[in-house]
Chains A and B, each alone.
Chain A
Amino acid sequence: MKDMLKGNFTPKYQVSVDTDKKETLEEQFERTAKARLGGSIAYVSKKRVAWTDDDKKKS
């Protein structure tokens, strides 16, 4: 297979291939559609209230 993909000319400039995964249009649509199904606000596991330093002094 490698032999077959050798090509038959030498490119003038170095061609770089971006290997980072880009979101396709379909994936983008799906993410947007999913976001509309999300909750009203975040949830942070195992947390209750974070009081400010002032609140802590007053309690």
Chain B
Amino acid sequence: MSSDEPLRRDGAFVRGLIADMKEMTWDRIGEHAIANAKRNLVFKDDGKSIAALRNSSMGEGDSAVIVAAGPSVRRQNPAQLLREHNYRGLVMATDSGIAHCLRNGIVPHLVVSLDPHPTRIVRWFGDPKLREQDLEGDDYYRRQDLDPIFADEVRANHEIIALMRQHAPQMSLALSTSTSLQVVERALDAGIRIYWWNPMLDDPDEPGSRTRALMDMNGFPALNAGGNVGSASWMIADAVMGKRRVALTGMDFGYYDGTPLTATQYYWEAVDLVGEDRVAEVFSRIYNPHMGAWFVSDPAYQWYRECFLEMVAQGDCQTYNCTEGGILFGPNVIFCPLKDFLAQAG
């Protein structure tokens, strides 16, 4: 075990899953992402390339705050802190972070979306086509330890649609070509400005690269997204927007200790893999020394953590994790409260 490895309690099974996560992710999204990118070609001229945001003046100064939607958000309320501090720097939100920002009076400058899932992701933008019967077969939102508004999905959907109607035209969207038709149509309908990018699916410098084929097809650059939308947001802040101090909020990559496993993102998928009686084996308990507390995490989140720490090591910015919870700590990540970051970033 390296000294960077956190104190953890789990078994060989979960470590095997983390090791397989690259292949598991490809099996989950690979062909889907490519098919979506091909289909989204018809919307190419409805937006610009993300290259137009290079070293953009969006947000004052050299700092950025990313708002994601991990379980810490309901406890820490980062959007409220941003408003109280009258933060003028770049505010970015993951698609899942839109509701928290808008409901707390913060209109993010830039939203990021990438997951190719055909039905779930559009809900973060408010889905005008959502029907009550659509909810019966999918408890993804109401089951999880998210913002409590998602417990009443229909009401939450109405509220997000209303907020988007009011604020979407003030927002920009860094949209991966891998996203579903529903997300693209919703973004266009809402009047949000689109900046396209391709997800890096393999090494674009290798012969036969599928990423390079996407770039040649649509003329957009490819970004290494780190496996998830929060990490992709960090990459955009650092490598596209040129921000030099980047704070993360709501990027827990885990759950508070004691959270029922049923309230975790991949619970039913884990049950399908090992059965209900062994489902605990798919999860780890990890000690966060900055918080002096244990957190629960699944293999995907732990893979995100590993990828992110590797990305940060090659980044140009200083990275501050202001989540105040979760498992994202390690070399090159300054773990501090958001109010401390805001005091120095202005």
The answer to whether A and B come from one shared complex is yes
List the interface of chain A (C-beta within 8 A of B): 30-52, 54-55, 58-59
The digit string for B283-312, where 1 denotes a CB below 8 A from any CB of A, is: 000000000000000111001100100110
A42 in contact with B269 given A48-B314, A50-B222 (CB within 8 Å):
no
28 contacts between A and B (CB under 8 A): A33-B272, A33-B273, A34-B27, A34-B273, A37-B266, A38-B24, A38-B300, A39-B25, A39-B29, A39-B300, A40-B25, A41-B25, A41-B29, A41-B178, A42-B33, A43-B22, A43-B225, A44-B201, A46-B310, A47-B200, A49-B222, A49-B239, A50-B205, A50-B211, A50-B221, A50-B223, A52-B51, A58-B51
Contact A39 B200 (CB under 8 A): no
Report yes or no: A37 in contact with B299, Cβ–Cβ below 8 A: yes
Q: Which among B102-110, B155-163, B227-235, B324-332 touches the partner chain?
A: B227-235
Query: Which chain A positions have C-beta within 8 A of B151?
Result: none
Interface size on B, residues (CB 8 A): 61
Interface centre among A45, A49, A54, A55 (most CB of B within 10 A): A49
Say whether chain A's binding surface is mostly helix, strand, loop, or mixed. Answer: loop
Contacts of A33 in B (CB 8 A): 269, 272-273
Known: A38-B300, A43-B225. A48 touches B239 (CB 8 A): yes
Main secondary structure on B side of the interface with A: helix
Tell me, in angstroms, the Cα distance from A37 to B205 when the chains sit together: 29
Across the interface, do B226 and A43 meet the contact criterion of CB distance under 8 Å? yes
Q: Are A44 and B203 in contact (CB-based, < 8 A)?
A: yes
Chain B contacts to A: CB under 8 angstroms: 17, 20-22, 24-30, 33, 49, 51, 54, 114-116, 176, 178, 199-205, 211-212, 215, 219-229, 231-232, 235, 239-240, 266, 269-270, 272-273, 282, 298-300, 303-304, 307, 310-311, 314
CB distance B299 to A41 under 8 Å?
no
Residues of B within 8 A of A42 (CB): 22, 25-26, 29-30, 33, 199-202, 225, 227
Q: In the docked arrangement, what's the CA distance between A12 and B203, Å?
A: 52
What residue in chain A is nearest B304 (Cβ atoms)?
A39
By a CB distance below 8 angstroms, the chain B residues around A31 are: 27
By the criterion CB–CB under 8 Å, are A37 and B273 in contact? yes
Known: A39-B304, A41-B29. A49 touches B235 (CB 8 A): yes
Q: What is the distance, in angstroms, from B213's C-beta to the closest C-beta of chain A?
A: 12
* Chain A contacts for B222, CB-based, 8 A: 49-50
Contact check, A40 vs B114: say whether CB atoms are below 8 A apart: yes
Which residue of A38, A46, A58 contacts B28 across the interface (Cβ within 8 Å)?
A38
Evaluate whether A47 and B203 lie within 8 angstroms (CB atoms) in the complex, with A37-B17, A38-B300, A59-B54 already known: yes
Query: With A38-B29, A50-B211 in contact, is A43–B227 under 8 Å at CB?
Result: yes
Q: Which residues of B contact A38 (CB under 8 A)?
A: 21, 24-29, 300
Contact: A39 with B27, CB < 8 Å? no
Also in contact, A49 and B25, with CB within 8 A (given A39-B303, A40-B228): no
